[in-house]
Structure 1
Amino acid sequence: MKNIAITQEAQGAMTPDSVLQDLLDGNARFTGSQSQAVDNSALVSQTTGGQFPKAVVLSCIDSRVPVETVLDQAIGDIFVARVAGNFENVDILGSMEYSCKVAGSKLVLVMGHEACGAVKAACDGVELGNITAMLDNIMPAVKKSADEVEGETNSSNKSFVAATVANNVRLTMDRIREKSPILKEMEDNGEIKIVGGVYSLQTGKVEML
């Protein structure tokens, strides 16, 4: 049973690789219907005075991808930033910098997901209110996929959508490094890793890119 929150000492002993493996192990428990039992009351009590999460995850808002659940993490384990299409912006970059530079997290995971509605909308050039400006963030991935995938360049082409989901994760990782000198320096120094993966709605598994 998970009933002990991460302490500062435990967080300090972790490495980026060990944290990544921990999240992948959690995902394996989830897909194997072996998620750990959690004593939420104990974790709430232990984290009242502070928190020492091991990772920050950037994911889509999709209701089918509850991040803590699919990675089998509990209270105090991970930071989670969510926006439709899992792209970075200044607020999310600041949140990631806080997570790693201030709060000591060892890993940044950008996690896209299969058949993402925001990606599909970007593929189709949807224009609607504030959604239009939001989808602009995904268009670089759409354009990259258009050069790589044969067939229709819209959401009717499942291969095109899948490629765009993966390219969106990769380009988001690139922009995190480009736009955040803090995170890039931490990664260059081996203090953190910036990684990406795609969650399968069909299997519940996270495939790393």
Structure 2
Amino acid sequence: MKNIAINKEVQNGLTPQSVLSDLIEGNNRFIDNNLQAADYNALVKDTVGGQFPKAVVLSCIDSRVPVEQVFDQTIGDIFVARVAGNFENVDILGSLEYSCAVAGSKLVLVLGHESCGAVKAACDGVELGNITAMLDNIVPAVKVAALDFEDDVDSTNKDFVAKTVEQNVRLTIERIREKSQILADLESKGAIEIVGGVYSLQTGKVELL
């Protein structure tokens, strides 16, 4: 049973690759319905004085993708930033920079998911209130994915949606590197890695891109 949170000494001993491996192992436990037991009361008390998460995950807000459970992580283990369509903006970038440059996280994981509603809406050109401006962040992925399809470039085409989900993750990673000199420098020094994956609603598995 996990009852002690990550401390600074443990965090310092982690590498980006070891953290990624840990998350994938946790995802395998999730798939097998074999999640680790945790003493939440103990972890709450243990983290009052500070936090030293190993990673930050940028995910969609989708209720079917509970990030901590998907990777079998608990209190104090990971930061989670969520926005519909798992894209970056200035607030998300600042959050990622805080996670890595200030709090010491070793990994940035951009997590898309199968059949994403925000991606589907972008594919269909939905316009509604503030949703319109939000979807503008996903439109570049729609345009890139559309290059591989001659027709049916809308949400009725599951293959097109899946391709757009992947492209959205890849483009988000590219823009994180372009827009955040802090994160780009940390990655170039090997202090962090920025990676992407897609979660399957059907199986619960995260496939790295």
Q: TM-score range by the shorter chain?
A: over 0.9
Cα offset, 1:151, TM superposition: 3.2
Aligned to 1:205: 205
1:36 alignment partner AA: Q
Aligned to 2:185: 185
SS of the residue 1:4 aligns to: coil
Residue in 1 that maps onto 2:9: 9
**Aligned-residue CA RMSD (Å):** 0.5
Alpha-carbon distance between aligned partners in 1 of 2:107 and 2:203, rounded to the nearest angstrom: 24
Secondary structure of the structure 1 residue equivalent to 2:2: coil
Q: Distance in 2 between matches of 1:117 and 1:78?
A: 25
Query: Counterpart in 2 of 1:41?
Result: 41
SS in structure 2 opposite 1:197? strand
Amino acid at match of 1:61: I
Q: Give me the whole-angstrom Cα distance separating, in 2, the residues matched to 1:8 and 1:194.
A: 21
Shift of 1:13: 0.1
Q: Secondary structure at the match of 1:62?
A: coil
* Unpaired stretches in structure 2, ≥5 consecutive residues: none
Q: What is the TM-score with the length of structure 2 in the denominator?
A: 0.99
Residue identity opposite 2:98 in structure 1: Y
**TM-aligned CA deviation for residue 149 of structure 1:** 2.8
Alpha-carbon deviations, 1:6-48, whole Å to 9, x = none? 0100000000000000000000000001000110001001000
SS in 2 for 1:79: strand
What is the alpha-carbon distance in structure 1 between the residues aligned to residue 31 and residue 122 of structure 2?
30
Structure 2 Cα separation of the partners of residues 3 and 116 of structure 1: 35
Mapped to 2, the partners of 1:112 and 1:65 lie a distance apart of 9
Matched residue SS, 2:24: helix
Unaligned runs of 5+ in 1: none
Q: TM-score, normalised by structure 1?
A: 0.99
**Residue 20 in structure 1 maps to residue 20 in structure 2:** yes
Deviation at 1:148, TM superposition (A): 1.6
Cα distance in structure 2, aligned partners of 1:118 and 1:97? 25
Secondary structure of 1:81's counterpart equals strand
Amino acid at match of 1:37: A
Q: Percent identity?
A: 74
Q: Tell me the secondary structure at the aligned position of residue 72 of structure 2.
A: coil
> d(CA) in 1 for partners of 2:153 and 2:94?
33
| SS in structure 1 at match of 2:29 | helix
**Equivalent in the alignment of 1:176:** 176
Give the distance between the partners of 1:204 and 1:38, measured in 2 at CA: 21
Would the aligned equivalents of 1:31 and 1:205 in 2 still touch at CA under 8 Å? yes
Matched to 1:208, the amino acid is L
Matches within 5 A, 1:120-139: 120-139=120-139
Q: Structure 2 counterpart of 1:204, which letter?
A: G
Q: Structure 1 segments of 4 or more deviating over 3 A?
A: none
* Deviation at residue 117 of structure 1 after TM alignment: 0.1
Shift of 1:88: 0.2
Residues 127-165 of structure 1 show CA distances to partners (whole Å, capped at 9, x for unaligned) of: 000000000000000000010234310000000000000
Q: Which residue of 2 aligns with 1:59?
A: 59
Cα distance per residue 1:91-145 (max 9 Å; x no partner): 0000000000000000000000000000000000000000000000000000000
Letter in 2 for 1:29: R
